[in-house]
Structure 1
Amino acid sequence: MRSFLTRITTLTPIAVGLALGMVAAGVLAVVGGSYACAVVRDQLAPQKITFPQNQAQGLFPDLKQYAGQTVDNGAKAKAYADKFINRHLQEVAGGQTYAQVSTKALAAPDDQKLAAQKATLFQGETLRGLLLSVWGWSVVATIATIGGILLIVLGAILAGLPLTALALGRERKLVAA
C-alpha cells in the first residue's frame, strides 16, 4: 500500500493535470451536447409539426403517447418519421418506393396519377429523411452529454486520488515530526 501511495504522490502534478484535462473535456462535451439539443429543438419548433390528437384524426395506436404534441425533440422526430410519415407513404402507391414510382413516371410522362404519386413520395421521403437526421443529431447530443458527465466524474475522482494521497503523506510527516 505504501508503495502505491508513494508512486501516486510522485506523479501528483501529472495525474492531477491529466484528470483536470478530463474534467475540462467533460465540460466541453456537456456544453456541446446541450447546445446540440437546443439546436434540434430550435430547428423543429418553428416547423410546427404536430401529431394528430386522436385516432379519428389519423393517430396510430402506438403513437398515443404523442397525441397532439408538437415534434420538438429527436425522439418525437423519429416517431413521426418512422411511425407516421412512413406508414402514410406505404399507402401512396401500394407500398412502392419513390425510386420505383419515379421510374414508372419517367416511362409514362403523361400519367398524372404517377406524377402525383412521385411528387408525394418525394416530399414525404424528404421530410422523413430530414426528421431522421434530426433524430441522429439528437442521439449524438445525448451521447456527448452522457460522455461529458462521465468524464467530469472520472476526472474528479482521478484528481482526488493523488491529492488525497499527497495530503495523507503530509499528515503522516507532521505526525512523525
Structure 2
Amino acid sequence: MERTVYGVLSRVAAIVLVVVGVVAIIGGTYANGYVKNQLSSERITMPAGAALDALKNDGAKAALSKYAGTPLDSGPKAQAFANHYILVHMNASSNGKTYNEISGQYTQLSATDKASPDGVALGNLRQTLFMGDTLRGMLLTAYAWWLVGTIALWAGIALVVVGVVLAILGWGPLRSGKSTGAHSTEGPAAKAA
C-alpha cells in the first residue's frame, strides 16, 4: 500500500516539476533574449584600445578588458560597463561626489551664482552625473533581469531533471504491480486447487 502511495505521489510530483521546469526554462530564455535584444538595439560597443588605456583604475581595466571591442549585449557586459566605465568616469569628473551631493550644491546657489562660469560648470556637472546615474540604472536593471532569467533557466533545468528522476521512480520501482505470486493474497491451498 505504501509503495502505491509513494508511486502515485512520485508520478504527480514528476509531472508538476517537469511542467514548472519547462515554464521556468521558457521564461529564463525569454528574459535573457529580451535583455540581449534591447541592449543590442542601443549599438553600444564595449571600450577598447585608447578608451581602456585611459582608465587609471586597474580593477576597471581588468573588468572591461575581457569584453573589449565587443557589442554590449548581455547582463554581465551591462554590469561591467555601468560599474567600471560609466561610474569611473562619473567619479573622476566629480572627484568622487555623487549626483545628490553636486545637485545639492547647485540648488543652493543664487541665480547670479548659477549664471557665473563656476555655476554653469557645476550645472553641467550636475546634468552629466544625472545622465550617468540614469544610464547606470538602466544598465544595472538589464543586468538584474538577465540574472533573474539565468536563475530561472538553471532552476528550470534542475526541476526538469528532478521531475524526470521522480517519473522514473514513479513509473518504475515505486509503481504497484498487479498481484503476482510474491504479492498474491491467495493462500497455497487455493493455488494448488
* TM superposition score normalised by structure 2: 0.81
Letter in 2 for 1:31: I
Q: Identify unmatched segments of 5+ residues in structure 2.
A: 56-60, 185-193
Q: Distance in 1 between matches of 2:31 and 2:101?
A: 36
Amino acid at match of 1:107: Q
Higher helix share: 1
Alignment of 1:69-148 (within 5 A): 69-108=70-109, 109-110=114-115, 111-148=119-156
Contact kept? 1:9, 1:166, Cα under 8 Å: yes
Give the drift of 1:48. 1.0
Q: Percent identity?
A: 35
Question: Which of the two has higher C-alpha Rg?
Answer: 2
Query: How far apart are the structure 1 equivalents of 2:3 and 2:20?
Result: 23
TM-score by structure 1 length?
0.87
- Equivalent residue for 2:51, pick from 45, 48, 57: 57
2:36 aligned residue (27, 32, 41): 41
Q: CA RMSD in A?
A: 2.1
Match for residue 8 of structure 1? Answer: 3
Determine if contact 1:9/1:162 at 8 Å carries over to the other structure.
no
Please give the secondary structure, in 2, of the residue aligned with 1:173. coil
Report the Cα offset of residue 87 of structure 1.
Answer: 0.3
Q: Write the deviation string for residues 57-115 of structure 1: whole angstroms up to 9, x where unpaired.
A: 34543121111011100000000000111100001121111001101111223210001
Output the amino acid matched with 1:113: A
Does residue 20 in structure 1 map to residue 15 in structure 2? yes
In structure 1, list runs of 5 or more residues that go unmatched: 1-5
What is the aligned residue count?
170
CA distance in 1: counterparts of 2:126 and 2:24, whole angstroms: 42
